[in-house]
Amino acid sequence: MLVILALIILFHLASAVLLFVATIHNAWWMVSTSGDNVIYSDLWYTCNETCYSVAKSHTSDAAYLQAVQAAMILATILCCVGFFVFILQLFRLKQGERFVFTAIIQLLASLCVMVAASVYTAQKDTFHVGNLKTGSYSSSYILAWVSFPMTLVSGLMYLVLRKRK
C-alpha cells in the first residue's frame, strides 16, 4: 500500500510540476525567423533577444488571453492545494473513507487546464499579430495539454482510492 501511495504522490507532484512549467516557461508559441533567430511567445511576453509584453495584453481586446492566463494560474493553484488537502486527509480521515474533496479539487484543476489550452487553441490568431502568425505551437503548450490528462487521471485515482491498513 505504501508503494501505491508513493506512486500517487509522485504522479500528483509530476502534474503540478508540468503545470508550473507550462504556466511560467516562455514557449507557448514559436516563430523561426531568418537565420538562427527564434521568437518565443507565451501568455505574458514575447522574446527574442529581449522580452516585451504581448501586444494589447492589458486591454479588453485580449480578453481571451486573460482568460487563458487566469485559467492556467488557477489550475496550478488548485493542483497545489489539492496536494496539501490530500496530505491532510491522509492523516485525518478514518480508514475506508474516500478522498472526495481532493478528487474534486484535482478535477477542477483538470477542467481549468482544458479550458485554458482550448481557448488558446481556438483564439491563437487573435493573440499573435504580425510576423508571429506564421509560427507553431511550442513546448509549454504541449506540456499544458499533457498536464490535462495527468490531472484528470489523478483526480479519478483519488475518487477510487481508499485508505487501507
Sheet strand arrangement including 29-32: 51-53, 45-47, 38-41, 29-32, 136-137
Tell me the three state secondary structure of residue 43.
coil
Asked whether residue 40 is domain-assigned, the answer is no
Q: What is the pLDDT of residue 94?
A: 74
pLDDT in tens, 16-35: 999 999 998 878 888 887 76
Asked whether residue 102 is domain-assigned, the answer is yes
Asked whether residue 106 is domain-assigned, the answer is yes
Asked whether residue 88 is domain-assigned, the answer is yes
Asked whether residue 84 is domain-assigned, the answer is yes
Number of domains, the chain:
1
Residue with cell 483538470: 110
Q: What is the pLDDT of residue 84?
A: 94
pLDDT in tens, 104-160: 999 999 999 999 999 988 887 776 666 677 778 888 999 999 999 999 999 998 888
pTM: 0.87
CB 41 within 8 A of CB 140: no
pLDDT in tens, 73-115: 999 999 999 999 999 988 887 766 778 889 999 999 999 999 9
Whether 59 has a pLDDT exceeding 70, the answer reads no
Asked whether residue 107 is domain-assigned, the answer is yes
In this structure, of 7-11, 30-34, 46-50, 116-120, the range with the lowest mean pLDDT score is 46-50
Cα angle 42, 48, 51; round to 5: 65
Asked whether residue 63 is domain-assigned, the answer is yes
Structural domain that includes position 123:
2-26+59-129+138-160
> Which CA distances in Å does 33 have to 5, 22, 98, 121?
48, 23, 53, 22
Asked whether residue 43 is domain-assigned, the answer is no
Tell me the three state secondary structure of residue 99.
coil
Pick 50 or 27 by higher pLDDT. Answer: 27
Distance in angstroms (rounded) separating the CA atoms of residues 89 and 162: 11
